[in-house]
Homo-oligomer: A and B are copies of this chain.
Amino acid sequence: MAIKRTVLRAGLLAQSEEVVRETMIPYQWAALHDELPGAEPSHAIGNLLIAAGEKNGEYRGMVFQDSDVAKWLEAVAYRLASHPDPEWESKADSLIDLLGRAQQPDGYLNSYYTVVEPQNRWTNLAANHELYCAGHLIEAAVAYYEATGKDKLLQIVCKLVDHIDSVFGPEPGKKRGYPGHEEIELALIRLYRITRNPRHLNLARFFVEERGRKPHYFELEAKARGEAMSSPWGQWAYHYSQSHLPLGEQETVEGHSVRAMYLLIAAADLALETNDGELLAVCERLWNNVVESRMYLTGGIGSQEHGEGFTVDYDLPSDTAYAETCAAIGLFLFGQRMLENVPHGKYADVMERALYNGILSGMSVAGDRFFYVNPLEVSPSLNQIRRDQRHVATTRQGWFRCACCPPNLARLLASINRYLYSFRQDGLYVHFFAQSEVEFTVGEHEVRLNQATEYPWDEQVRLELNLEGGLEFALHLRLPGWCKQPEVKVNGQVVEVSVPDHGYLTLKREWAKGDTVELKLPMPVERVYANSKVRETVGRVALQRGPIVYCLEEVDNGPNLPALVLGAEPDFRVVLDPELGVPAILAKGYRLENSGQDLYTTVVPKAVPTEMKAVPYYIWDNRRPGEMLVWMTDGCLLGKPDLRNGGEGHERDS
């Protein structure tokens, strides 16, 4: 029993997949070749040519520049899997050939060390990303092999892994090291699933289990370099790389948010592969910590620039947020791995929150501009002078000196079709809703399921089965956590829905050709409140419709967005925005205006009725740059008429 293929047909996800295919992959190919006018040069291809001895010059860019090439290759692989294309396949093949030529005789492959300090390989795992880059090459190799059947890159990375395996491990004489930036752990498990080579699984397990042990490896390697272990993160030096404690002893998710997610993805994969319930419990504990106290409404994570990471529970500032696009992608993938362990809707709910909000916000609709940081509030005039917002771009950028996010978006969105459905035990799980088709086998039998919907914009989802004769199996339909009254019909007959704890409705029966399942997921506009422990959002409210978080933009509402107050009876209207082509929300609200110029007064600001317009958060900054705001001042502020009119007797100011 397995899924043979899933094809996206139409809708927001299909459009994103198409943008990756038609725009991002060519755009990023140009970026990697430094052919983007006005954008930060990547020099990634140049570095590999120098490493291969085919070009003179100096290595340039970050030490992990190779990983941008690998992530691009991985994205191309997914693109070729769904849409074969000889032109891009040959471009990819040429890049793979270059990687082969840049690989050293002993299997080592990293352009920075090969060009800059070949004598210092594996001496600074804490900072220099060798294992991280290897991990991305491995993921690309697996994806490219699965997509094309070509194993050249797979051979290259297996040789690289053999070399790494000869350097690292618990055995005497080997380094007991692990990467400062996790990635290779999850990649090795993906590789293992192809090769079934136990050394690949064991090496992944070693990296995960060795992390955070005492004596601390990063201290030892620093001493070996004749340096002291120093870090800009001070007392959080080890938290930064999740190496402050062995994973099993960690109670909270700490440090660099992308690194933390990549570690947990690998841990969840390990738990599945080795059937390790204890490790799964650790993943569950840390998952709960993130989603219950350290995640933005948008699915973004990482509350400050310093350390690009987590701070403390419930610290979720809007305008100084970090919420790196890569981190939201990491949370999505962590959720997906948890879902493979335990088919529970709570994981899919968070995946969906991240995907439609904090991930899609990372790119422009056209696919050629990107956000690295995804704040929930922006005011360009402040951003220009406030040092604590220096890291926030108020409009999407063409490329980045540290360009991890754009290729990460490309590889995720090019493979998004793979996450819609999964098959386990006795049936098919429908995790996400999109116009799509999935082919799977039940025993000998082939089944095709067609999903027709305009989700996330419309509440209707229609599934139609196509198979020979009758066949018993289960359909597990996800009932999204955001939906309060889902309705289900099978062949037109209403099915009693009592929302199951685990968030999936199981329809087990003998299915026949033409059987239909209709889902109605009513998506009224909802007022959303954050837990009152979140200092930033007390007295604020956000709008959500279905899985889509909305925001206010200056282009629709004028400046000083916090002075707009969502009315207590906002009379929400959902209308298609002609310019953006997506549903906008119109609401009755107020604009606070002061009677005088006084900075402080005992006279309550007047509330002037106004119409507010909110658009999906992910699509902000696709028209004109300006202010943006997710958490709006709560209209219940205006509940007291006497205060609404302001004590007119109070003419003088305090």
Give the residue of B236, B529, B535, B601 whose beta carbon is less than 8 angstroms from that of A603: B529
Q: Do the beta carbons of B388 and A304 come within 8 Å of each other? A: yes
Contact with B along A127-147 (1 / 0, CB 8 A): 000000000000000000000
Residues 537-594 of A contacting B (Cβ, < 8 Å): 538-540, 544, 560, 562-563, 565, 568, 592-594
Could you say which of A29-37, A117-125, A636-644 contacts chain B?
A636-644
Interface assignment of A532: CB less than 8 Å from any CB of chain B: yes
Inter-chain CA distance A295–B633, complex, in Å, is 23
Question: A590 → chain B, closest Cβ, in Å?
Answer: 10
Q: Do the beta carbons of A539 and B634 come within 8 Å of each other? A: yes
Give the interface size class of chain A. 35 or more
Give the residue of B320, B382, B640 whose beta carbon is less than 8 angstroms from that of A639: B640
Question: A591 → chain B, closest Cβ, in Å?
Answer: 8
Q: Do the beta carbons of B633 and A600 come within 8 Å of each other? A: no
Residues 596-650 of A contacting B (Cβ, < 8 Å): 597-605, 633-634, 636-640, 643, 650
Chain B residues within 8 Å of A603, by CB? 529
Q: Do the beta carbons of B652 and A484 come within 8 Å of each other? A: yes
Q: Do the beta carbons of A529 and B602 come within 8 Å of each other? A: yes
Chain B residues within 8 Å of A206, by CB? none
Chain B residues within 8 Å of A633, by CB? 538-539
Inter-chain CA distance A38–B406, complex, in Å, is 51
Question: A309 → chain B, closest Cβ, in Å?
Answer: 10
Q: Give the nearest-CB partner of A634 in chain B.
A: B637
Chain B residues within 8 Å of A599, by CB? 291-293, 295, 530-531, 534
Known contacts A304-B386, A385-B312, A638-B639: A652-B539 contact under CB 8 Å: no
Chain B residues within 8 Å of A315, by CB? 382, 385-386
Inter-chain CA distance A10–B292, complex, in Å, is 54
Interface assignment of A305: CB less than 8 Å from any CB of chain B: yes
Q: Do the beta carbons of B594 and A532 come within 8 Å of each other? A: yes
Q: Do the beta carbons of A311 and B385 come within 8 Å of each other? A: yes
Interface assignment of A424: CB less than 8 Å from any CB of chain B: no
Residues of A within 8 A of B (CB): 236, 291-293, 295, 297, 304-307, 311-312, 315, 320, 379, 381-382, 385-388, 481-484, 499, 526-535, 538-540, 544, 560, 562-563, 565, 568, 592-594, 597-605, 633-634, 636-640, 643, 650, 652-654
9 A-B residue pairs with CB within 8 Å:
A307-B387, A312-B385, A484-B650, A526-B654, A527-B604, A528-B600, A531-B600, A636-B636, A636-B639
5 nearest A-B pairs in the assembled complex, by CB-CB distance:
A639-B639, A306-B387, A532-B592, A388-B388, A532-B563
